Amino acid sequence: MNASKCFGSYGCFELSPPWISEHRPIALYPEDLSKIEPNYLYYSRVNPTEAVHIDLDDFDFVLSNNIDALLPTYTIAHGFLEGGGQTWVRLVRLPCEIEREFPD
């Protein structure tokens, strides 16, 4: 039996292979969104060090933040047990900042 739990715009999560197997006998659903409180931060060439908070319900975000869809966009996602302040997250952003300074 494949049980699932849905989280609005994030979709549904199933407790089925590959998330549960003999090598991973314990599988749990994500915590409720009210407990996790996910945040999405946007850094741009205009704001390389100050993040803009993305409101997933604001469909005009792209227009109101001067996002150029023709330029490369990178997504950095940390794991469940980490946060955005991790050293590796900041290090991964460095190539994006270099590209901003020295575009093709």
Is residue 61 predicted with pLDDT exceeding 80? yes
pLDDT band for position 71 (cuts 50, 70, 90): confident
Tokens of 97: 């900042």
CB-based contact 40:56 (threshold 8 Å):
yes
CB-based contact 4:12 (threshold 8 Å):
yes
Per-domain boundaries in the chain: 1-32, 39-104
Q: What is the CA radius of gyration of the chain?
A: 18
Q: Between 49 and 1, whose confidence is greater?
A: 49
| The model's pTM | 0.61
pLDDT for res 24: 82
Report residue 76: phi and psi, to 5°: -115, 125
3 state SS of 78: coil
